[in-house]
Structures are given as C-alpha cells and as structure tokens.
Amino acid sequence: MTQSPLPTPTSTPTPASDPGTDPHLDFAGTTPYEDYVRAEVLTHLQHPLTDEPGEMVFLVTTQVMELWFTVIVHEWTTAAHALRRDELGTALAALERSGHELKALNASWEPLARLTPAEFNAYRAALGEGSGFQSAMYRRMEFLLGEKSASMLVPHRGAPRVHDELAKALHEPSLYDEALAYLSRHGHELPDEVLHRDRGLPHEPHPAVEAAWTAVYAGDARDGSPDGSPDNGLLRLGEALTEVAELVWRWRNDHLVATRRAMGAKQGTGGSAGVAWLEKRARRSVFPELWTARSHV
C-alpha cells in the first residue's frame, strides 16, 4: 500500500523590516544617546567607601540632588535676568519650571528618610567631615534666594574656580532683588536701602517691601488689570515666588525630618549642630514680605 507523503511543515514568514518603524541599532562608535547624556560617565561616578548596601542609595541620591541643584540654579538665574530685562513671561515660565523641579528634588528625600539609625551609622563614618552645607551648587541656590553669607565661601578656598564663582554670585543681585527692582519699576516705590543695598548681605524684611506686596495682593495693581485678577503681572510674579518659597521651605523641613529619623539629635557631619541647625534654617522664611503681606490684605 502506498502511503501518502507527510505534509510539509509550513512556517510563518518573517515580515519584512519596516525602515520607517525599526530603530537604528548599528553605530560606528558610541550611541548618540550616550554622546548627549553621558550616561557612561554618570553611572560610573559612584565609589562607595564601605560594603554597606545603604551607602549606594545615599551616594546616588546625593548626586541626583546635585543635578537638581544645577537645574534650579539655571532656572532662577534665567528668571532673574529676564526680570532685569522686563521680560515677565520668560521669568514666570522659568519659575514655573523650577517649581516642578523643586518637587522632584524634594522627593529625593524619600529613600533617605527611610534609613534606620543603624543603617545610617553603618556607613556614616565614611563621610568623614563631608556635609551637605559644603555643596557649592546648593550655596548658589541659597544666594539666589537672598540668603547671602560670605563665611560660606570659606570651605571652598581650596578650589579656586568654585570659590571665584561663589564670590561672584555672592555680590550679584539675588532673584528676589531682581523681583523687587521689577516691582519698583512697575508702580510701587521702594527706598534706596532696598534697591541699592549691599548685595553681599542677606535680605532682611523691610516695611516698604511688605507694603508694596500688600498693595499688589489687595488689588492696587498698576501693572496689569485694575481689579487684581490673574492677568495682573505683579500678582502672578508674587504667586510664582511664593510657590518657590513654599517648596524651599518643604525642602528644608524634609531635610530636617530625614535627619531626625536617621540620627536623632546627634551632632551633624562636618561639625554642624545637626538637627538643631536644620531647625533654625527651617524657621527662616524665604521672600519674607510675601508671607507677612497676606496678613494685611
């Protein structure tokens, strides 16, 4: 009996590659992504000094914070320069972006805030005298907020380029200085001791500044709509600065809580007073007259 031949197996044909949808995978050297982002550099900057698993979290999170500091300094500098040129729209856009960036920065405390004292102490000695207050980029953030202090340049004397950049920033107008100058140019008279103060000193609350912001928030709007509606540019500026101030306050408080959870009231690294120093910082208002003016509206 003749058997029927077995059926020939069939295979699903491979669809032809569509050059319009397939990614380009073959590069002569590094990828364009690597060339732009420098991920190879970023992911090889971590050099833990202990074998404790929590140290890598601490190290990477701190480096991420430094990157956010860099972005936020860029935004606030952009806003300050735009205000100087009376380009309110550009300034508001930069301040709004910085608000989103501050929220991302503040979220960086989450992994660190969950460290137990034992987990933190396991690698704390590796920090030596290192402390966050020695961050040059964070110091530039503080200077832009008007929190000026010449003594904070001292830790950077051994790095001339960094020291020179900070010294320059110390004597430049802060973001708030530029906002007050803008306020003065747009209908709210401010005295010389506010507009022409020593830029190397911290901003101190002034009753004339409080009165000017009170007028803005009460609807005495000479720049924009007369009824103080959201079209009023000065009101929008005040609210954008207030959002920044609130998020900076939250940053300081999140730092305080994370430190309190990890180490209690012990002395901080770098010789600081630890929690006590952070509590003092958290009590200080950023852009103070924007807060006190609200009581008079």
- Tell me the pLDDT tens digit for each residue of 164-216: 999 999 999 999 999 999 999 999 999 999 999 999 999 999 999 999 999 99
Give the residue from 206, 197, 193 showing the smallest Cα distance to 173.
Answer: 197
Spell out the domains of the chain, with CATH numbers in brackets.
Answer: 51-296 (1.20.58.480)
Helices (H), ranges, 264-287: 275-283
Which tokens sit at 77? 């500098």
Q: Residues forming the annotated binding site for substrate?
A: 124, 269
The answer to whether 105 and 249 are in contact (CB under 8 A) is no
Percent of residues in the chain assigned helix, strand, coil, to nearest 5: 65, 0, 35
**Rounded to whole angstroms, how far apart are CA atoms 266 and 144?**
30
**Rounded to whole angstroms, how far apart are CA atoms 255 and 157?**
26
Q: Of 73-87, 219-233, 279-293, where does the model show the most confidence?
A: 73-87
Q: Which residues of 86-107 are buried (b: 16+ CB within 10 A; e: fewer)?
A: ebbeebbbbbbbbbebbeebbe
pLDDT tens digits along 209-265: 999 999 999 985 444 444 444 448 999 999 999 999 999 999 999 988 888 888 777
Q: Residues forming the annotated binding site for heme?
A: 255
Q: Residues forming the annotated binding site?
A: 124, 255, 269
Q: Region 120-142: what's the mean pLDDT?
A: 89
Give this prediction's pTM: 0.86
